[in-house]
Structure 1
Amino acid sequence: MATTTASIRISVSPDRVWQLIGGFDTLPDWLPYIPKSELGEGGRIRSLTNQEGGLIVERLEAFDERARTYSYSILQAPFPVTGYLSTITVLENLDSGCSRVEWSGTFTPVGIGDDEAVALFHGIYTDGLAALRRTLAA
């Protein structure tokens, strides 16, 4: 099993960040790679369409509004991994009033090495968090 975590400091309150990213159906609001999201099964499943038209289906596994965090698994995706579980968390930077957003994942590579899988998802998380910062700055 492989794992990776990316984080970013954002000069915006945690509540404002969570308001944007805390909904399970809000990826198109801040992540350019995902222009379309549709909810199913009472909001527990999201079907995402990426920029290339590929389908990614994810299940909400845990949600904690108070702690500003949720976890999800991938049910279907064009990624060379199985057993994928990811968590997004918005933390408060108490000394500055800013936020720190963490995006982490665990997964088992299939047909590629751990380093290649880690690089793939670390890049997705890092690019996604940079897009989040840009969206909040606009």
Structure 2
Amino acid sequence: MASTQASIDIPASADQVWNLVAGFNSLAQWLPMIQHSEAQEHGRLRHLTTVDGTVIVERLESYDNAARTYSYSITEGPFPVTDYLATLKVIEVDAGNSRVEWGGQFTPAGITDAEAVEIFDGVYQGGLQALRDNF
């Protein structure tokens, strides 16, 4: 199993950042590569459509509002991995600053661990920079 994680400091309170990312179906509001997100199964499943038309389906696995974190798996998508589980977490650094950590673990399917890590490094780092650009 391979894993990777990225983090970024954001000049906004943890509550402000969490308010933007906390809704499992809110990805399209802060991640430009996601054109549309549709919630199903009472909000536990999100069907994402990227700007190039790719469909990704993700399932909410755990959610902790007080700890400002949630984890999700991918049930359908273009990624050459299985057993994917990712976690997004917002941490309060001080009153006006926060750190967001986004990482995952997965089993590469038909590619090397390094190739799989490279894919998700790009997703997480690019996604976190897009999130920071909202503040």
Using the size of structure 1 for normalisation, the TM-score is: 0.96
**2:42 alignment partner, SS class:** helix
Q: Deviations over 1:80-130 (max 9, x none)?
A: 000000000000113x63100000100000010000100100110000000
Letter of the 2:122 counterpart = G
Q: Deviations over 1:38-72 (max 9, x none)?
A: 00001100000011101100000000000000000
C-alpha separation in 2, matches of 1:53 and 1:91 = 33
C-alpha separation in 2, matches of 1:86 and 1:118 = 13
Output the aligned Cα RMSD: 0.8
C-alpha separation in 2, matches of 1:67 and 1:85 = 18
Over 2 Å off, 4+ runs: none
1:87 equivalent in alignment to 2:87? yes
Letter of the 1:30 counterpart = W
C-alpha separation in 2, matches of 1:53 and 1:31 = 15
Match of 1:103 in 2: 102
**2:117 alignment partner, SS class:** helix
Identity fraction in percent:
57
C-alpha separation in 2, matches of 1:34 and 1:97 = 28
C-alpha separation in 2, matches of 1:29 and 1:35 = 9
**Where does the alignment leave 5 or more consecutive residues of structure 1 unmatched?**
none
1:131 equivalent in alignment to 2:101? no
Match of 1:35 in 2: 35
C-alpha separation in 2, matches of 1:127 and 1:76 = 21
Using the size of structure 2 for normalisation, the TM-score is: 0.98
C-alpha separation in 2, matches of 1:130 and 1:54 = 21
1:67 equivalent in alignment to 2:67? yes
C-alpha separation in 2, matches of 1:10 and 1:75 = 30
C-alpha separation in 2, matches of 1:97 and 1:27 = 23
Displacement, 1:19? Answer: 0.3
C-alpha separation in 1, matches of 2:54 and 2:86 = 19
Aligned residues: 135
**1:43 alignment partner, SS class:** coil
C-alpha separation in 2, matches of 1:35 and 1:14 = 25
C-alpha separation in 2, matches of 1:45 and 1:28 = 14
